[in-house]
Amino acid sequence: MSTTVIDKTTIDVREIAPRLRHPLIFDTFDALATGEALLLVNDHDPKPLFYQFQAESPGEFTWEYLESGPDVWRVRIGKAQAGTAPARACGH
């Protein structure tokens, strides 16, 4: 079964204070409908964010690296549909 993910918004956190980044990302994610995604733009690999998603929203998100540095990382974070395989951070 093929799923279509629609990018709803882009969040570029490179100029946002680090303490504000994760709350902004999670608030934006929470506002997504199933099948929608946000595009995260960051200045480093957001792997700690991936682990936070695993802890707080297991099975509820997808994670796809679109660009992997060295200066810019772009990750599509989607609201998972039922039956979607668990998100994995490796393979980027």
Going from the N-terminus, what domains does the chain have, and what CATH number goes with each?
6-79 (3.30.110.40)
Q: Is the pTM of this model over 0.95?
A: no
């297991």: which residue's tokens?
Answer: 58
Kindly report, residue by residue over 9-43, the tens digit of the pLDDT: 999 999 999 999 999 999 999 999 999 999 999 99
* Nearest Cα to Cα of residue 16 among 42, 47, 51: 42
User: What is the residue type of 68?
Assistant: S
């609201």: which residue's tokens?
Answer: 79
d(CA 62, CA 58): 10
pLDDT-derived band at 64, boundaries 50, 70, 90: very high
Sequence-distant (6+) residues with CB within 8 A of 84 are 3, 62
